[in-house]
Amino acid sequence: MARTAIIEAPGGPEQLVIVDREVGEPGPGQIRIRHHACGLNFIDVYQRSGLYPLQMPLALGMEAAGVVEAVGEGVTHLKVGDRAAYAAAPPGAYTEARVMNAAQVCPLPDGISFDEGAAMMLKGLTVQYLFRRTTPIAKGDTVLFHAAAGGVGLIACQWAKSEGIRLIGTAGTDEKCALALEHGADACINYRGGDWVAKVRELTGGRGVDVVMDAVGKDTFDGSLDSLRPLGMMISFGNASGPVPPFNLATLGAKGSLKITRPTLFTHIADHATCQQMARELFDKVLSGAVKIRIDQRFPLDRVADAHRALEARQTTGQTVLLP
């Protein structure tokens, strides 16, 4: 049996309860993993609230790190006793142990702790696909990154710095802006301090940025489009402030023949070999010291509802982990 955080109906953090669930044995292509730490992400909030509808009852959580306890037939990249970490669907990572498909579970290098592994997989692999797999971004290009002091944002700031990419961040307080600057952002705008679009234009000499990476959604979408140079790329990869309302496709033409995409991590990591390669690139960044995983909040699994409340209230910085 494993203590597991579940919801029986969509709603607020109060829906989260801890239950005992049977773990079982892995079948072909599966492993059983004993978690040492679990990651917290905004996608967990979307699933809990019902924004992303899923069948109930639902065990939440998309990433974790731990030790492989059993291996099913056909699994060759992992063995019993291996340290491992993952970001993977379906949800179910808020637990002490689980049986799951092995394809997206990655061997975790000894130089990376379980807490770091749990905190970095979903966010770090997201940064990898944003910078390496979505649109060409070259040294010297300028990226606008919203919520630059969040878990994904702090990794993005460091990743951009390591590759000579100019990153302009936004955040909601001067303290969060300072944190983004500390992690490699070239500039960071407090979007509560006035017309942030005008400040982006000022920082780019009126040209606009090459790429916008926007996981905030509704509150920043229009301004993100207005921050792009002609032929620029808008990457909308989240909805922290709510889903983007329908808009007229002709707007993209009127604003400079802009491009837009709405990717998800799970499309990028669906292929086993691609997922493992993406993880190796992420691990290399961390092991080299180019990217440091900052964990500012730790909650015991029993306090998972409090963790959700803090995340939704934008009271967190860096990464948050749950400890089974």
* Residue whose C-alpha is closest to residue 265's, from 151, 124, 136: 124
For position 241, what pLDDT does the model report?
Answer: 84
Tens-place pLDDT, residues 207-253: 999 999 999 999 999 999 999 999 999 999 988 888 899 999 999 99
Residue 292, pLDDT above cutoff 90: yes
pLDDT tens digits along 77-127:
999 999 999 999 999 999 999 999 999 999 999 999 999 999 999 999 999
Q: Which fold has domain 135-262?
A: Rossmann fold (3.40.50)
Indicate if the alpha-carbon torsion angle 101, 103, 105, 109 is positive or negative. positive
By CB atoms closer than 10 A (0-12, 13-18, 19+), residue 261 is exposed
Instruction: Name the amino acid, one letter, at 150.
Output: G
pLDDT on residue 200:
98
Is the pLDDT at 314 greater than 90, yes or no? no
Q: Is the pLDDT of residue 165 over 90?
A: yes
Mean pLDDT estimate for the chain: 96
CB atoms within 10 A of CB 263: 16
| Cβ proximity of 137 and 157 under 8 Å | no
Residue 300 confidence (pLDDT): 98
With tokens 């669907």, the residue in question is 89
User: d(Cα 199, Cα 75) in Å, to the nearest integer?
Assistant: 52
- What is the per-residue pLDDT for 141? 98
Cα separation, 93 vs 4, whole angstroms: 8
The CATH superfamily of 2-122+266-323 is: Medium-chain alcohol dehydrogenases, catalytic domain (3.90.180.10)
Tell me how far apart the terminal alpha carbons of the chain are, to the nearest angstrom. 13
Is the pTM higher than 0.75? The answer reads yes
- Per-domain residue ranges of the chain: 2-122+266-323, 135-262
DSSP H stretches of helix in the chain? 42-49, 114-132, 151-162, 174-182, 196-203, 221-226, 250-254, 265-268, 272-287, 304-312
Question: Residue 316's pLDDT band (boundaries 50, 70, 90)?
Answer: confident
Residues with Cβ within 8 Å of 131's Cβ and at least 6 positions away in sequence, in order, are 137, 156, 159, 160, 163, 165
The pLDDT of residue 194 is above 90:
no
The DSSP element (H or E) to which 222 belongs, if any, is helix 221-226
The mean pLDDT value for 253-268 works out to: 97
Residues 104, 225: Cα–Cα separation, whole Å: 34
Over residues 11-36, the pLDDT tens digits come to: 999 999 999 999 999 999 999 999 99
**Token pair listed for 166:** 């100019």
- Helices 272-287, 151-162: axis angle to 10 degrees equals 80
